[in-house]
A and B are shown apart, each in its own frame.
Chain A
Amino acid sequence: MLSALVSAAIVIIALTLFATSGTNLWWMLHAWRTPETYHETFYLPAMGKPCHSFSIIVPARHESEAVLSATVARLVSQTHPQVEIILAVGHDDPSTVQVVQKIAAGQPGLKISVDQSAVKNKPRQLNTALADCTGDIVGVFDAESLAAAELLAHVDEVFQTSNADVVQGAVQLVNFQSSWFSLRNCLEYYFWFRSRLHLHAQKQFIPLGGNTVFVRRTLLNEVNGWDGNCLAEDCDLGVRLSALGRKVSVAFDPRLVTREETPDTIYALVKQRTRWNLGFMQVLHKGDWRKLPTRRARNLARFTLTQPMTQAFSGLVLPVALLTVVAGKFPMVVTLTSFLPAVPTIAMLGFEAAALRAFGRDYDFRIRVRDYASLVFFMPAYQLILSWAAVRSAFRFFAGNFEWEKTAHAGAHLSTSATADDAA
Chain B
Amino acid sequence: MSMTAVLPQPVLSALRTPAAAVDRQRRRWPDVAIIMGLVMITTIVLLVNLHGYPTVQDDEGTYLSQAEWVRAHGALSPYTYWYDHPPFGWIQLAALSWIPAFHGGSLTVSSGRAIMLLYADASAALLYLLARRLDIRRPFAVLAVLLFVCSPISVTFLRQVYLDNLAIPWLIAAFYFACTPRQHLWHYVLAGVFLAVTVLTKETTAILVPAVALAGWQSSYARTRDFASVGFWSGFVLICLVYPLMALLKNELFAGPIRVSLQAAMEFQFVKRSGSGSVFDPVASAHATALGWVQLDRWLLILGALSALFALTIRRLRPIGLVVVLLGITLLRKGYLPQMFIIVALPFLALCVGGVVDQAWSTTRRWGKPARLIGDGSLLAAFTVGIVALGAAWQPGLARAFTSSNNTEHVAAVAYLRTSAIPRDSRIVVDNTMWQDVYHAGFSSPWHTIWYYKVDLDSAAKKELPDGWRDLDYIILTPFMRQDISTLGLTTMGIAVEHSRVVARFGTGPAAVELRAVTK
Q: Residues of A with Cβ closer than 8 Å to B? A: 29, 32-36, 38-40, 42-45, 253-255, 326, 331-332, 335-336, 339, 342-343, 346-347, 350-351, 353-355, 357-358, 361-362
Interchain CB contact under 8 A, B7 and A39: yes
Per DSSP, are chain A's interface residues mostly helix, strand or loop, or mixed? helix
Interchain CB contact under 8 A, B185 and A29: yes
Q: Using Cβ atoms and an 8 Å threshold, which residues of chain A touch B250?
A: 332
Interchain CB contact under 8 A, B226 and A45: no
Interchain CB contact under 8 A, B246 and A336: yes
Q: Using Cβ atoms and an 8 Å threshold, which residues of chain B touch A350?
A: 230, 233-234
A35 to B16, CA, bound (A): 13
Interchain CB contact under 8 A, A36 and B12: yes
In the complex, besides A35-B224, A254-B1, A361-B1, 5 extra interface pairs with C-beta distance below 8 angstroms are A35-B221, A253-B3, A331-B74, A350-B230, A354-B230
Quote the shortest CB–CB distance from A190 to chain B (angstroms): 13
Q: Using Cβ atoms and an 8 Å threshold, which residues of chain B touch A347?
A: 230-231, 234-235, 238
Q: Using Cβ atoms and an 8 Å threshold, which residues of chain A touch B6?
A: 39, 42, 44-45
Judge whether B182 is part of the interface by a CB distance below 8 angstroms.
yes
Judge whether B227 is part of the interface by a CB distance below 8 angstroms.
yes
Query: Given the known A-B contacts A336-B242, A350-B230, are A34 and B184 also in contact in the complex, defined by CB atoms under 8 Å?
Result: yes
Quote the shortest CB–CB distance from B317 to chain A (angstroms): 23
Query: Given the known A-B contacts A332-B246, A336-B242, A347-B234, are A32 and B227 also in contact in the complex, defined by CB atoms under 8 Å?
Result: yes
A254 to B1, CA, bound (A): 8
Select which of B3, B5, B224 is within 8 A of A32 by beta carbon: B224
Interchain CB contact under 8 A, A33 and B230: no
Interchain CB contact under 8 A, B229 and A354: yes
Minimum CB distance partner of B74 in chain A: A331
Interchain CB contact under 8 A, B183 and A35: yes
Minimum CB distance partner of B6 in chain A: A42
Query: Given the known A-B contacts A38-B221, A354-B226, are A255 and B246 also in contact in the complex, defined by CB atoms under 8 Å?
Result: no
Quote the shortest CB–CB distance from A282 to chain B (angstroms): 34
CB-defined A-B contacts under 8 Å, sample of 26 = A33-B184, A34-B182, A34-B183, A34-B185, A35-B183, A35-B221, A35-B223, A35-B224, A36-B7, A36-B15, A38-B224, A42-B3, A42-B5, A44-B3, A44-B6, A253-B3, A336-B242, A336-B245, A336-B246, A343-B234, A346-B238, A347-B231, A350-B230, A350-B234, A351-B234, A362-B1
Per DSSP, are chain B's interface residues mostly helix, strand or loop, or mixed? helix
Kindly identify, within residues 1 to 35 of chain B, every residue whose CB is under 8 Å from any CB belonging to chain A.
1-7, 9, 12, 15-16
Judge whether B186 is part of the interface by a CB distance below 8 angstroms.
yes
Q: Using Cβ atoms and an 8 Å threshold, which residues of chain A touch B399?
A: none
A39 to B227, CA, bound (A): 15
Judge whether B421 is part of the interface by a CB distance below 8 angstroms.
no
Q: Using Cβ atoms and an 8 Å threshold, which residues of chain A touch B249?
A: 326, 332, 335-336
A358 to B221, CA, bound (A): 14
Q: Using Cβ atoms and an 8 Å threshold, which residues of chain A touch B221?
A: 34-35, 38
A255 to B228, CA, bound (A): 25
Query: Given the known A-B contacts A40-B12, A253-B3, are A351 and B230 also in contact in the complex, defined by CB atoms under 8 Å?
Result: yes
Select which of B15, B74, B186, B230 is within 8 A of A353 by beta carbon: B230
Query: Given the known A-B contacts A326-B249, A347-B238, A350-B233, are A33 and B9 also in contact in the complex, defined by CB atoms under 8 Å?
Result: no
Interchain CB contact under 8 A, A39 and B12: yes
Q: Using Cβ atoms and an 8 Å threshold, which residues of chain B touch A351?
A: 227, 230-231, 234
Counting chain A CB atoms within 10 Å of each CB, the highest count among B7, B74, B230, B242 belongs to B230
A362 to B223, CA, bound (A): 11
Q: Using Cβ atoms and an 8 Å threshold, which residues of chain B touch A39?
A: 5-7, 12
Minimum CB distance partner of B12 in chain A: A36
Query: Given the known A-B contacts A343-B238, A350-B233, are A44 and B226 also in contact in the complex, defined by CB atoms under 8 Å?
Result: no
Query: Given the known A-B contacts A33-B186, A39-B5, are A358 and B245 also in contact in the complex, defined by CB atoms under 8 Å?
Result: no
Interchain CB contact under 8 A, B223 and A38: yes
Minimum CB distance partner of B238 in chain A: A343
Minimum CB distance partner of A363 in chain B: B1
Interchain CB contact under 8 A, A358 and B12: no
Q: Using Cβ atoms and an 8 Å threshold, which residues of chain A touch B233?
A: 350
Quote the shortest CB–CB distance from A74 to chain B (angstroms): 20
A43 to B2, CA, bound (A): 10
Quote the shortest CB–CB distance from A341 to chain B (angstroms): 11
Query: Given the known A-B contacts A39-B6, A45-B6, are A346 and B234 also in contact in the complex, defined by CB atoms under 8 Å?
Result: yes
Minimum CB distance partner of A39 in chain B: B7
Kindly identify, within residues 353 to 394 of chain B, every residue whose CB is under 8 Å from any CB belonging to chain A.
none
Quote the shortest CB–CB distance from A28 to chain B (angstroms): 11
Interchain CB contact under 8 A, B238 and A255: no
A299 to B245, CA, bound (A): 35
Query: Given the known A-B contacts A39-B5, A44-B9, are A33 and B245 also in contact in the complex, defined by CB atoms under 8 Å?
Result: no
Q: Using Cβ atoms and an 8 Å threshold, which residues of chain A touch B12?
A: 36, 39-40
- Interface flags, B308-328, vs A, CB<8A=1, else 0: 000000000000000000000
Interchain CB contact under 8 A, B2 and A255: yes
A255 to B3, CA, bound (A): 9
Interchain CB contact under 8 A, A358 and B226: yes
